[in-house]
Structure 1
Amino acid sequence: MTRTAFIFPGQGSQRVGMGRDLAERYPELAGSVFRAADELLGFELSRLCWEGPADELRRTDITQPAIFVTSMAAYRVWAAHAPRPVAVAGHSLGEYAALVAAGVLDWTVALGLVRRRGELMARVNETTPGAMAAVMGLAAESVEALCSDLSGAVVDVGPGGDVGPGGDGGPGGDGGDGVDVVEVANYNDDEQTVVSGTVGGVEALSRAVRKKADPAVKVVRLDVGAPFHCSLMRPVEEQFSADLDAAAFADPSVPVVANVTAAPVWTGAAARAALQAQLAGSVRWRQSMRTLVDLGVETFVELGPGRVLSGLARRSHPEVPCHPTSDVRRMEKAIGELGAGEFVGAAVRP
């Protein structure tokens, strides 16, 4: 039997319509997950996933539970038709779905944590507006060096705390003390590194990259609701700790490769610590994929909306097949190729 790893996507994979065809094709599997989530959350998350509007679906406090629930719906369909994984991992938010698949968290507990996480992260942008950008074609070490040079730069703060004419961030663009922040948030693959920080810090890094005048190097501003995975999230880390402490974490049934260390966690306590650390820590996805391959994984299955992780996997490890499952056609194609079998891992039971 093929040694398979499940990988679960994070924020940015959302799209209007996600999960709808799976819910309609498999009403007692995927559909029941959406119905239960609507009841647990107290609003129609399913409607937002399937009908939008897109602007509301992009809100951090909505996007995070929406992607998590869509991933759980896909996971439940897979779990009913195909073999269990030998390891799991999730990109940022996706780590919660990975922990459910490994039997560490009950899915309803994970949904509550994800909702709280999204709410807390969204509040950061209200007090400290931030930004994120993807740097493509530049080695991660070079991006790290630029971040080190630019972080902590004092900007020109005008009356009322806004960034004045000499600053980079526009109104409210600094870290609160007239100091810019820009840090590596995601090590996605050898050619793509994501940075996060204050608006001024990210814009300063973007200018520094463009000054290199290398047509192979690009910087793309990301459409996100907050500066994830950088030190601006430290307040969230502190506030969220009580929620994590109150949740029950079991030991994983299969290795879960943690974002912050790119190493497997083997206990519930380690999984809890990894979730807290990833809020303000870098997502070491490139290294995590290497760890999965080193664990003997022979194929990846991406469970959730979009195909972002499948694309990253194909670039970093073209020798390892990757199967997206974002719609019925792709799901059933992947199940057909990997073969049916009794699933003996953790199950989603709404």
Structure 2
Amino acid sequence: MKAYLFPGQGSQFPGMGKYLYKKSTLAKKLFRLADEILGFRMTSIMFNETKILSENTEYIQLAIYIYSVIKTKILNNFDPDMVAGHSLGEFSALASVDVFSFEKGLFMVNQRAKLMQKICKSTEGEMAVIFGLKDEIVDFHCKIDKGIVVPSNYNCPGQLVISGERKAVRRVCKTLENIGAKKIFILPLHGAFHSPIMEPAKKKFKKIIDKISFKDSKCPIYQNVNAQPVIKSLDIKNNLIKHFTYPVKWKQSIENMINNGALSFIDIGPGNILSGLMKKILIKR
């Protein structure tokens, strides 16, 4: 069974999509359609603007979604038995299996990115990657801190991202460093994604997404909020709403996909972050 994986923020790179644009007539058509829908030259940013593409949440999310979905559209043998997307990648995965159209997905990602960017500017949020500690230990120290700090991305064994108020994140990082974390890396996102800080954005996004029609998925999608296979459109939509404040259960999703018969994993999006996480998950099985 084939499983296709779709990356999220952090997998972008300068010039992403330029090769696809030159290679495929369909890709060129979809890139131009994206520019038309958005009302600005997103393709120019993707192909040329290195700094903007590395610093601006709004443009990063759009670029990754556009690249990932277009790549599936131009593949001759794209016929997944199951799919999963890491955070933002969930939208790419859903568009790839026609739960909604490329255009509807682009609209939702654009709205999602703007809401998240606005929260980033108005709050002092932060995210940090913790290496070398068991999930339970990181979970415990987030729970006992008096501020807002939660586990936000269960990426692979020995790698967990925490998210929340900057002061709370820094306190927990200091504690984890003292008790043996191998490495701690503060992410340059200036936001607290997948944490309670995103609650205002979640409420606004619900109003947007409630007006958009979804179809049942052609194959199971393992969604971040519960790491379980989902097909029904209403369940998918509800999970996308929860997505704002729930952690990304990526490690658990991959393990469940393997347990349910996945033998081949294809990393469809830009970069190779998910391939790296996949290797670490397999080593620990």
TM-score using structure 2 length: 0.96
SS in 1 for 2:210: helix
1:11 Cα deviation from its structure 2 partner: 0.7
Letter in 1 for 2:30: V
**Large movers: runs of 4+ above 4 Å:** none
SS in 1 for 2:206: helix
1:77 Cα deviation from its structure 2 partner: 2.2
2:136 paired residue among 141, 164, 183 = 141
Letter in 2 for 1:18: M
1:53 Cα deviation from its structure 2 partner: 3.4
Hey, what does 1:6 align to over in structure 2? Answer: 4
| Structure 1 segment 186-201 matched on structure 2, within 5 A | 186-201=153-168
Whether 2:20 is the aligned partner of 1:22: answer yes
Hey, what does 1:66 align to over in structure 2? Answer: 63
User: Residues 300-333 of structure 1: CA distance to partner in whole angstroms, max 9, x if unpaired?
Assistant: 111111100011111112599xxxxxxxxxxxxx
Tell me which protein shows more helix as a share of its residues. 2
Aligned length: 285
Hey, what does 2:32 align to over in structure 1? Answer: 35
Identity in percent:
33
Whether 2:261 is the aligned partner of 1:266: answer no
| Structure 1 segment 234-253 matched on structure 2, within 5 A | 234-253=199-218
| Structure 1 segment 92-111 matched on structure 2, within 5 A | 92-111=87-106
Given that 1:102 and 1:256 are in contact with CA atoms closer than 8 Å, whether structure 2 keeps it comes out as: no
- Greater radius of gyration (CA): 1
Hey, what does 1:207 align to over in structure 2? Answer: 174
Gaps of 5+ in 1: 154-179, 321-350
Whether 2:264 is the aligned partner of 1:305: answer no
Given that 1:135 and 1:192 are in contact with CA atoms closer than 8 Å, whether structure 2 keeps it comes out as: yes
CA distance in 2, matches of 1:92, 1:72: 15
User: Residues 31-82 of structure 1: CA distance to partner in whole angstroms, max 9, x if unpaired?
Assistant: 222111011101111111110132355211111111100111211222xx21
Hey, what does 2:47 align to over in structure 1? Answer: 50
1:76 paired residue among 73, 78, 83 = 73
CA gap 1:318/1:35 in 2 versus in 1, 3 angstroms: farther
CA distance in 1, matches of 2:138, 2:177: 12
1:19 Cα deviation from its structure 2 partner: 1.4
SS in 2 for 1:203: helix
Given that 2:73 and 2:96 are in contact with CA atoms closer than 8 Å, whether structure 1 keeps it comes out as: no
Letter in 1 for 2:45: L
Given that 2:13 and 2:270 are in contact with CA atoms closer than 8 Å, whether structure 1 keeps it comes out as: yes
CA distance in 1, matches of 2:190, 2:6: 20
TM-score using structure 1 length: 0.79
Gaps of 5+ in 2: none
